[in-house]
Amino acid sequence: MDDVTYTINDYVWAEELQAGLDDYVMTLFDGIDEIEPPDNLTNELFCGCNVCEYRETLAYLLPRIIEGLVEGRLVVERDGRAFKITEL
């Protein structure tokens, strides 16, 4: 099995990423019973089930994690070799 490690080089960025995700997901949950629910990143109905929550979490995190890799805020290594994205 491959040995994969993750190194965070910018803890402020990581904390802001977590806080942003928490705020985004809470906004979605708060809007479940609203007549006009808040917009979401996938433009799919958000009912609050695990599938909806995971879908929106992935839609929120994926572009930000890729950006973090490009900017060097996060490093992923597999078997001692760094996975690098140099540009989008």
Per-residue model confidence as pLDDT tens digits over 16-49: 999 999 999 999 999 999 998 899 999 999 999 9
Range name among 24-28, 56-60, 74-78 with the lowest pLDDT average: 74-78
Strand partners, 78: 4, 81
Amino acid at 61: L
* Residue partners of 19: CB distance under 8 A and separation at least 6: none
Global pTM reads 0.85
Strand partners, 5: 77
pLDDT at 5: 87
Strand partners, 74: 8
Tokens read off for 64:
């930000």
Q: Which residue has the higher pLDDT, 84 or 49?
A: 49
Which amino acid is located at 14 in the chain? A
